[in-house]
Amino acid sequence: MALFVVRHQHEPDRCPALDPEAGAGLLNYLSRPNVKQHGITIKGEAVVQGEHTFFLIAEASDEAQLRRFMQPFSQAGSLDIYPASTCAMVVASGGCNADPPDVGDLAAVDPEEACQYALESNLVVHKAHPLNCETSIPALVGSVVMPNAHFYVRNHFQIPKFNPDAFTLRVHGLVDRPLELSLTDLRGMKSHTTVATLECAGNGRTLFEPPIAGEKWNLGAVSTAEWTGVPMAEILDQAGVRPDGREVVFLGADSGSVAGRKEPISFGRSLTIDQAHDNGVMLAYAMNGEGLPVQHGFPLRVIVPGWYAVASVKWLTDVEVVADPYDGHYQAEKYWYEWERNGDSVREPVTLMQVRALITDPGPGQEVTCGDVTIRGVAWSGAASVARVEVSVGRGDWHQASLTGERKRHSWQWWELQTRIDEPGLVSLRARAIDLAGRCQPDQAEWNRNGYGNNSVQEVTLKVN
């Protein structure tokens, strides 16, 4: 089906609505049931008040079909039909005159559909192709897990589309028993379920000064879900890792071109054998009790609890045990902290999530009345569970908040503080988290060239009446 915009204009004395019966007939002709019988779908219609001009957005197999349907209008005045596209497709393509995004030979999700779904799910879209969008802060308020539709989305390439019946995971390399596992095979193996928070390493990048290139994440590139799948240790034990195996490489089906590489690459990351065995790593096929949504890695993805989400490779197709350090683009060249210290360049790989607290209620700029105020939020850390959260009101002393709900090792922790504000005006709220490993949020995270791991203390300003 193709999308069209229709424009019809008639003279005032030929307006069909002048005759009530003719007007009613027009409404019946444009009714959804009647239009459907003609094989056309109307997305919207409107009349420019006082100008006798009518616009229609419609889907039809071709322009000729739509013109036949619109013939009664052409008899009353002019009729113009324009090939059209949605705003989502135009933005994904890079302009009104651009062709649809090229996905090459990859079986891929339509970029327009993926973007439109994200918008309808109230995600904040940063880029339409490849799709990158964060969860709005108000949507973070609520239960332990984030509903699948509201879970933030981070992609480097186009979203692959699989036939689950034809899916095969290859486990190969330095193993005694190479494996080829179907989705049915994986679901029949020993399973594990865990609640884990995933955060993009660039979450909070917009808060660094001076500004840093990259996706313009605010604070919503973080979400929590219940993941179900096969422990990675089970896979490795079945395959039998050889003595010279040092790393496990995870390759996804998503691929594309990157600067500095002549050939397209697949997204890949690696862990050491010990990390893959002992870190609760799993190959997940379910999210919040449902099959993985396509934007989150269907049919299979890696989950590395406690680590920034770049390690949790989506659309997993290959697990390879290798002897040498993996040198893939997103392992060796990207996802490194890079600092300038005493004139020297210092690099450190992005691994564990930093400790962080986030104020979810009240929101920035919200108006509250003098008196009792409840401050709520969420906190998490990759190194250890959250030990405590402290809140400062009006740049005053830090007060310990109450932690709510069960403490989980790899899941965010909800907290709240009951306080009182008696003076009207603008009042700042700040929150910081401390984990059981003794790590505390800094007032200002150290600036780094790629904008990773910004866990600066968040500040929210209220208007108190």
pLDDT per residue as tens digits for the range 121-159: 999 999 999 999 999 988 877 678 999 999 999 999 999
Nearest to 353 by CA among 411, 408, 401, 296: 411
CA–CA distance, 147 with 155 (Å, rounded to integer): 19
CB 58 within 8 A of CB 41: yes
Instruction: Write down the mean pLDDT value for the chain.
Output: 94
DSSP string, 311-348: GS-SSEEEEEEESS----IIIIISSEEEEEETTEEEEE
| Sign of CA pseudo-dihedral 346, 349, 354, 360 | positive
Burial (CB count within 10 angstroms: exposed 0-12, middle 13-18, buried 19+), residue 33: exposed
What confidence score (pLDDT) does residue 354 get?
98
Bridge-based pairing of strands 336-341 and 301-303 is unpaired
Residue 142 is predicted with a pLDDT of 67
Is 356-464 a domain of CATH 3.40.1190.20?
no
Q: Name which of 12-26, 280-294, 299-313 the model is least confident about.
A: 12-26
Beta-carbon count within 10 A of 177 CB: 9
Neighbours of 276 (CB within 10 A): 23
By CB atoms closer than 10 A (0-12, 13-18, 19+), residue 53 is middle
Domain ranges of the chain: 2-83, 148-334, 356-464
Rounded Cα distance, 404 and 417, in Å: 10
47 or 141: which leads in pLDDT: 47
Would you say 101 and 92 are in contact if contact means Cβ atoms under 8 Å apart?
yes
CB 5 within 8 A of CB 79: no
Q: Which long-range contacts (CB under 8 A, 24 or more apart) does 163-167 make?
A: 164/298, 164/299, 167/299, 167/300
Per-residue pLDDT, averaged over 50-62, amounts to 93
Structure confidence at residue 406 as a pLDDT band (50, 70, 90):
confident
CB distance 132 to 151 below 8 Å: no
Average pLDDT of the segment spanning 208-234:
96
What's the pLDDT at 261? 86
Each residue of 62-89: pLDDT tens digit? 999 999 999 989 888 999 999 998 888 8
| Rounded percentage of the chain residues whose pLDDT exceeds 90 | 83
Residue of 290, 288, 287 whose CA lies nearest to 302: 287
CA distances in angstroms from 128 to 117, 123, 152, 154, 450, listed in the order given? 11, 12, 13, 11, 21
Gyration radius of the chain over CA positions: 27
Nearest to 39 by CA among 62, 21, 56, 60: 60
Residue 447 to residue 168: CA distance in whole angstroms: 42
Q: What is the pLDDT of residues 437-446, one digit of tens each?
A: 999 999 999 9
Q: What are the phi and psi torsion angles at 22 (to 5°)? A: -65, -40
CATH superfamily assigned to domain 2-83:
Dimeric alpha+beta barrel (3.30.70.1060)
Nearby residues of 27 by Cβ (< 8 Å), 6 or more positions away: none
Q: Greatest CA span in the chain, whole angstroms?
A: 89
Helix (H, G, I), strand (E, B) or coil at 225: strand
| Contact (CB, 8 A) for 374 and 416 | yes
Residue range 85-113, pLDDT digits in tens: 888 888 888 888 877 776 666 788 999 89
- pTM for this structure? 0.90
| Alpha-carbon span 250 to 330, nearest angstrom | 11
CATH of domain 148-334: 3.90.420.10
Decide: 170 and 437 in contact? Cβ < 8 Å.
no
User: Is the model's pLDDT at 344 over the cut of 70?
Assistant: yes
Helical ranges in 54-142 per DSSP H: 63-69, 71-74, 87-93, 111-120, 137-140
pLDDT (tens digit per residue) in 251-262? 999 999 998 888
Residues 8 and 79 sit within 8 Å (Cβ to Cβ): yes
Give residue 371's pLDDT band: very low, low, confident or very high (50, 70, 90).
Answer: very high
